[in-house]
Amino acid sequence: MAFEHLSISALQSLLNEKLITLIDIRDQASFLAGHIAGALHVGNHNIESFLADTDCNLPLVVYCYHGNSSQGAADYFNQQGFNQTYSLDGGYTAWPVNQHV
């Protein structure tokens, strides 16, 4: 099964209802300037350890700036064995400002 698209409202519901893995694939400076609460920063510097240490059975939500790069990343993680992978539609820029960390 390939990755699926996830809306902002669907992510908000998932965050309230169950355990998921949420990753931010933007650059480090952007992540440090603000990110969705609970998100992990994943990039070339830590992808191997992330793959080794993360439960592939939990839903994985990937976001980037606008929801474009996260689609390829979600597909990649799906190929690495994650059972449920999602790309956040609209990315970080679509996330409500009052919910940024």
Q: Which domains does the chain have, with CATH numbers?
A: 4-99 (3.40.250.10)
Q: How confident is the model at residue 16 (pLDDT cuts 50, 70, 90)?
A: confident
The residues carrying an active-site annotation are 64
pLDDT at position 21: 97
Which tens digit of pLDDT belongs to each residue from 73-88?
999 999 999 999 999 9
Inform me whether the pLDDT recorded for 89 exceeds 90: yes
Contact 89, 71 (CB under 8 A): no
Q: How confident is the model at residue 43 (pLDDT cuts 50, 70, 90)?
A: very high
Rounded Cα gap, residues 88 and 63, in angstroms? 5
pLDDT at position 98: 61
